[in-house]
Structures are given as C-alpha cells and as structure tokens.
Amino acid sequence: METARTAWAAALLLGTTALGLLPAAAAGVPKDTLVVVSEMGPNGLDTMVPTANDDSRMVNWQIYDRLVSSPEKTLPNGVKSYDAKKFIPELAESWEISADKKTYIFHIRKDATFHDGTPVTAYDVKWSFDRAVAAGGFPTVQMAAGSLFDAKQFSAVDAHTFKITFDKPNKLTMPDLVVPVPAIVNSTLAKKHATASDPWAFEWTAHNDCGGGAFEVTSWTPGQQVIFTRFDNWKSGPLPKLKKVIFRQIASPGTRRALLEKGDVDVSVGLPPKDYAELAKAGKVNVIGVPVQNDLVFVDMNVKMKPFDNLKVRRAISYALPYKEILSSALYGRAVPMYDGDPNKPYDPTWPVPLKHGTDIAKAKQLLAEAGYPNGFKTTLSIDLSEATTREPMAILIQESLKKIGIDVTIEKVPGSNWFAQMASKTMPFVIAEFYGWLDYPEYFFFWNYDGANNSVFDTMNYQNPVMDKYIEAARFAPDEKSYTEALQNMVDLAMQDLPRIPLYRRYADYAMQKDVQGFEYWFHTHLDFRKLYKN
C-alpha cells in the first residue's frame, strides 16, 4: 500500500503522462487527500494585490479567516449552498450591532492563532482592514460596497475587541464581511517584510502564506500546482476532514476529463459545457451545476462610441442576437436563458431580468434603418481569450447573425492577461463579458456595473447616467422595504430602457467529481470550499 501511494505521489509531481501510465490499483488518491485539476490557477497568494486573478480568491478562501461566515442551506435542486442572508461566527465568536446600525462590535476568539503560531488579535484585524481600504483598485471598491471606506472607522478596543463605525447604515455591510477581501492577515509577520515603498507587504504576501485559515499553502509552483495542508490548530470552525488538497493546473480539457474518468483525480473544474453535459449524461461521475447567483453574461455596447450611442442601434442588435443558438451550440444547455420574457408584464424589481423578446431579424433590420444605418456598419466584437471555450463560438454565432442585418463584425481576441486593462480603458466598442455579484443583491450588481460615479472596470458599456446613480444610491441605503423595492424597480426599468447591455444568459457553475467526494457547498465566488469537502 505504501508503495502504491509513493508511486501515485511521484506520478502527480511528474505530470499527467505519468499519471496516465499508472495501473488502476496505484492510481487511487488517498482518502485524506483531494486532487483537483483546473485549466487556470492563482497568479499569487494574496487577493489584495492589484494584479491578483480570480484563482487568488480561491487560495485566499482556504488560507485566511474572515470575521464572519454564512451558514448552509439546501437549494431546490438538493444542492447545498451558503445562505447569503444569514451570518455565523468565524474569527469573531460573537458581535453586537447598535440600534441605529452605525456601530458594529466584534469579539475575536481568544484561542485563534496564525499558521506560524502567533496569536490572532483585534490589532491584526484593524491592520488588515486598514490595508484593505488602502490597497486601491478592486479590494478598496469591494470594501466600499459595505461602506467600509476609511481607516478611521476601524478601531481595536482591546486585544480581542474590534469596532467599526458608520455615518449611516448599509445593509451590505455584513454580507461584505464574508467575501475574500476583508481577510485577516498576520500583521506581525507581514510587517517584517514591509518596506517604505510597500508598507503593506503586498509583494511578500503575493508569494507567501500570511494567514490563519483552515489550510496553509505548503508548496506553490506558479503555473503548475498548489499544495494545501490542513492547519490542525484552526479554531474558527469544525476541523476539515481532508488533510491535504493538491490543486493542479492542466491546460488540456481533454486531459482533465480523461484523468477524472479514469479515477486518477477527484475533481475537475473549468471543463467546457459540452464535457459537463456528456459527463452528466454518462453518470459515471457526479456533475453538479448551480446557476451562478447575481450573474449575467451579456453583450455590452460602448454608448460613448458611434453607432452605439444610438438607442435604436442597440435595440436593433438586441433583436438580431442568436439567443437560442448560443444556449444550445456554445453552452450545451448549461445556462439559464435571459430572453423571451413575457412582453405583457412589467419587469420584476430584481436582477437579472430577461429581455422581453428573442431573435427577430425583420424587426432588427427595421430598427437599424430607423437609426440611419439601413446598410449596416462595421465594428469589432471583443472577447476574453481565457474564456475562449464558450466566448469564441458565441462570437462567431453573433458575427453570423449580425451579418444578416448588414453589420460586419471582426472578432477581437484579447489575451486574458490584458483583459482587465482593456476593460478599464473603455475603448472596446462591442464586448461579450460577464459579471457575477459576490453579494446577492441587485443594487450590488448595479453599483459595480451601472454606477457612473463609480467608473468601475466592469462598466464596459461606458454608461453614465446621473438618474441611474441616484436610483442605485437610493437602493443601497433605502430605509424601508417599500422605498427599496421602488428604487430597484426604477433601476431595472432604466437599464432595460436605455439598453447599453443586452442580457444573454446566467451561466452554471459546474463541477465534476468522483462519487465518493462529499460535502460540496456552493459559494458566491464559485470556487470549491476545501473546508467542507471529504471522501466517503
């Protein structure tokens, strides 16, 4: 048995070819170890670093604690999910909120330590929150969503009491404390690696574990794999059943699928929709698909550029897009359609909402002629190359469909490493993109995407409307349910009236795993929670 495990471990380190050569008896993964394969991986270990990618959030979730978490609930399809509207202790064992909701006091666990054995204190919490609002870019804007703006709001009353104060209450404050950004950093360790030019030690934490979460990173080879080992002294929740998780990057989806089907790995994430559809049908492994909360995949039109500054052009395109073909040919049905809504009913005060129509080429031609473009025009359609598995076939289908109304589309493939910079530049006229809100509230989506004052990187439609900004502000700080619903209704109606963004679908977060893998729980960030998983 020991020889088989040694062979298995050596094969994993040598690569997928060696894995494929293992006999079945030697290929099984030990019960206390989980092997996950994915195309993408972290470009750093600290999500606060401006260049951090989405998989850095995955690392953050495992190796850092937050003050609070959310309990589990069961979705209608039987899948376990976190409950976005409820909160339970994590690093904070209890808390109080003042009657006017302007003061929050958190009591920090007295037995919690970081991975190096240093005790966790409220001074670490204060330093970590100061760091988050000072980081700039995405982390600071994320904190602002919960009205966490200024270091002056945060104070360590004593070694185990942390206080936050607000000018006015914000119902997004508690949900915002659950996300990866306000993670508690070992300030004693980080400060040892801080410099005059890098006072928050971002350069060091990007390459080193500085947390106290349920797992610690014991090995990281960029572009290849991360090894997580259970932190046996973790006190912020039930000790995970897994002792080790190996997260391995493998570029080929075919290889990742084959390894899963042969039993050489436990979980495969990031496969193409076609593979998940086929695996689900075959039934040899478990496939879990969850519609991503507060999510929308869409087509954006830059309203500051001609001809997309013309509402009738935008409406014409909305009638010309091949919605059904995209769902069937690019997504293999693994998505929630966001078109063909009931034209006789008003939009619901929620988000996202479906368009009230589908594809109608005749109507599209009519609107384009009314807009002054009877012969169409030329444009570019930009896609994120790191999402090419679905975005490229989508772009080709759109290109073919728009050609029917005279629009000549050139597909621009932007390398994934440049995608966020391109988004921020606001120079792409026509874009396929996606946004999913970590906080499951419509106004959170709108804050990141439609708020012109925010000037968010996700506003690739370059939309700025002071009226919309007022509606978003009203929803964020609504004093009662009636005014909140009214603000949501106004937001949604205006977004669908101005139509700078055309909804396409809500995607599934898909996961394929061996049948002995248990404990899966869906989270807003769509990454696996290693703390909950185990092998039966």
Q: Residue ranges per domain, the chain? A: 31-266+514-535, 295-508
CA separation (Å) from 510 to 34, 252, 283? 18, 17, 15
**pLDDT mean over 236-240:** 97
Q: What is the pLDDT of residue 147?
A: 94
Helix (H, G, I), strand (E, B) or coil at 456: coil
d(CA 227, CA 209): 12
Cite the DSSP H helix spans in 404-503.
416-425, 442-449, 466-476, 481-498
Amino acid at 79: V
Of 131-140, 336-345, 490-499, the one with minimum mean pLDDT is 131-140
Q: CA-to-CA distance for 404 and 395, rounded, in angstroms?
A: 15
Give the pLDDT of residue 50: 81
Q: What's the confidence (pLDDT) of residue 179?
A: 97
Q: What's the pLDDT score for residue 418?
A: 87
Q: Are 492 and 353 in contact (CB under 8 A)?
A: yes
The model's confidence at residue 238, banded by pLDDT at 50, 70 and 90, is: very high
- pLDDT of residue 106 exceeding 60: yes
pLDDT, averaged across the chain: 93
- What's the burial of 140, exposed, middle or buried (CB within 10 Å: 0-12/13-18/19+)? middle
For residues 184 and 126, the answer to whether their CB atoms sit within 8 Å is: no
Taking residues 324-331, report their average pLDDT. Answer: 96
pLDDT over threshold 70, residue 303: yes
- Percent helix, strand and coil across the chain, each to the nearest 5: 35, 20, 45
For the domain covering 31-266+514-535, report its CATH number: 3.40.190.10
> Tokens 């008003």 label which residue?
346
| pLDDT bracket for residue 386 (50, 70, 90) | confident
pLDDT class of 77 with cuts at 50, 70, 90: confident
- What pLDDT is attached to residue 459? 94
Assigned token pair, 84:
């976005």
Interval 361-371: pLDDT, tens: 999 999 999 99
Contact in structure between 458 and 503 (CB atoms under 8 Å): no
Share of the chain above pLDDT 70, in %: 95
Mean pLDDT for 62-91 is: 96
Does position 401 have pLDDT exceeding 50, yes or no? yes
Task: Tell the residue number behind the tokens 């910079």, with chain if given.
Answer: 421
Q: What is the pLDDT of residues 402-457, one digit of tens each?
A: 999 999 999 999 998 788 889 989 999 999 999 999 999 999 999 999 998 887 88
Could you tell me which residue, 497 or 19, shows the higher pLDDT? 497
138 vs 153, which has greater pLDDT? Answer: 153
Compute the distance between CA of residue 127 and CA of residue 141 in angstroms, rounded to an integer: 18
Of 174, 123, 437, residue with least CA distance to 166: 174
**Predicted pLDDT of residue 12:** 45
Task: Read off the pLDDT of each residue in 475-481 and give the average, rounded to a whole number.
Answer: 92
- Whole-number pLDDT of residue 28: 61
Cα-based angle 278, 279, 281 (whole degrees, multiple of 5): 65
Q: Say yes or no to pLDDT of 8 above 50.
A: no
Q: How far is CA 345 from the centre of its chain?
A: 31
The answer, yes or no, to whether residue 6 has pLDDT greater than 70, is no
Tokens of 454: 């925010």
Is 70 exceeded by the pLDDT of residue 228?
Answer: yes
- 86-to-68, 114, 493 alpha-carbon distances in Å: 10, 26, 29
Pick the CATH number of 295-508 from 2.40.30.10, 3.10.105.10, 3.40.470.10, 3.20.20.70: 3.10.105.10
Q: What is the model's pLDDT at position 288?
A: 96
More confident: 44 or 23:
44
Q: How confident is the model at residue 7 (pLDDT cuts 50, 70, 90)?
A: very low
Q: How confident is the model at residue 227 (pLDDT cuts 50, 70, 90)?
A: very high
Q: Which of 134-138, 155-159, 206-210 has the lowest mean pLDDT?
A: 134-138
- Look at residue 507 and give its three-state secondary structure: strand
